[in-house]
Amino acid sequence: MTYTVNGRQFAEEPDPGQCLRTFLRSLGHFGVKKGCDAGDCGACTVWLDGDPVHSCITPAFRADGREVTTIEGIGSPGNLHPVQRRFRDAPGFQCGFCTAGMIMTSATFTEAQKEDLPRALKGNLCRCTGYRGIEDAVHGTAGVETAAPGRAVGTSVSAPAANDVVTGRAAFTMDTHLDGMLHLKVLHSPHAHARIVSIDKRAALAVPGVHRVYTWEDVPRKRFTTAIHTDHLVDPDDTRVLDDTVRFVGQRVVAVLADTVGAAEEGCRKVVVEYEELPAVFTPDEAMADGAPHLHGSDDPFVRDPAHNILLEIHGHVGDVDAGFAAADVIHEGTYTSPRVQHAHLETHGSIAWMENGRLNVRTSSQSPSIAKGKLAHLFALRPDQLRVFCKRVGGGFGGKQEVISEDLVALATLDTGRPVCFEFTREEEFTTASPRHPMALTVRLGAKADGTLTAFEVRNVSNTGAYGNHGGETLYAGGAAVMIYRCPNKKYDALSVYTNTVPSGALRGYGMTQPAFAVESAMNELALALHLDPLALRRRNLVRPGDPLVALHDGPDDVTFTENGLARCIDLVEGALARTADEPPPGPGWLVGAGVASSLHETAPPTDHLSEAWVTLGDDLIYEVAVGTVEFGEGTSTAHVQIAAQQLGTTPSRIRLVQSDTDRTGFDTGAFASAGLFVSGNAVLRAANAVRDRILEFAAAHTGVHPVMCSMDDEGVVCGDQRLSLAELVALGRARGIRFTAARKAYGSPRSVTFNAHGFRIAVHPVTGEIRILHSVQAADAGAVINPAQVRGQVEGGVAQGIGFALTENYQVDADGVMVNPNLRNYRIPTWADVPRTELLLVDSSDSVGPLRSKGMAECCINPVAPALANALHDATGIRYRTLPLSPERIYSRLDESRPVSTA
Q: Which pLDDT score is estimated for 300?
A: 66
Q: Residue 790: which of 222, 269, 145, 237 has the closest Cα?
A: 145
What's the one-letter identity of residue 248?
Answer: F
Cα angle at 94 between 89 and 97, to 5 degrees?
110
User: Percentage helix, strand, coil, to 5, in the chain?
Assistant: 30, 25, 45
What's the one-letter identity of residue 408?
Answer: D
Q: Residue 349: which of 361, 366, 363, 371 has the closest Cα?
A: 366
Q: Residue 550: which of 493, 481, 472 has the closest Cα?
A: 481
Cis peptide bond upstream of 886, omega within 30: yes
C-alpha distance from residue 416 to each of 211, 218, 420, 474 (Å): 11, 10, 11, 35
3-class SS string, 162-224: HHHHHCCCCCECCCCCCCCCEEEEEEECCCCCEEEEEEECHHHHCCCCEEEEECHHHCCCCCE
C-alpha distance from residue 259 to each of 173, 251, 427, 568, 862 (Å): 20, 24, 22, 60, 45
Mean pLDDT, 10 residues at a time, over the chain (905 residues)? 91 92 97 97 98 98 96 97 98 98 98 97 97 98 97 97 98 97 98 98 98 98 95 92 98 98 98 98 98 86 85 95 98 98 98 98 97 98 98 97 98 98 98 97 98 98 97 92 93 97 97 97 98 98 91 84 93 98 91 97 85 97 97 95 98 97 97 90 98 97 95 95 95 96 96 94 95 97 96 97 97 96 97 96 93 93 97 97 96 75 43
Answer yes or no: are the C-beta atoms of 240 and 163 closer than 8 Å: no
Q: Which pLDDT score is estimated for 824?
A: 97
Q: How far apart are CA 62 and CA 20, in angstroms?
A: 8
Helix 132-139 to helix 82-89 angle, to the nearest 10 degrees? 140
Q: How far apart are CA 876 and CA 745, in angstroms?
A: 52
Q: Which pLDDT score is estimated for 303?
A: 80
Which residues are CB-contacts of 583 (< 8 A; sequence separation ≥ 6)? none
Answer yes or no: are the C-beta atoms of 887 and 805 closer than 8 Å: no
Q: How far apart are CA 258 and CA 260, in angstroms?
A: 5
Answer yes or no: are the C-beta atoms of 408 and 414 closer than 8 Å: no
Q: How far apart are CA 254 and CA 242, in angstroms?
A: 7
Q: Nearest 10 degrees: CA dihedral of 119, 124, 128, 133?
A: -50
What's the one-letter identity of residue 864?
Answer: N
Kind and range of the H or E run holding 324? helix 321-326
Q: Residue 391: which of 347, 435, 351 has the closest Cα?
A: 351
Phi/psi-derived region of residue 393, left when phi > 0, alpha when psi is between -120 and 50, beta in every other case: beta
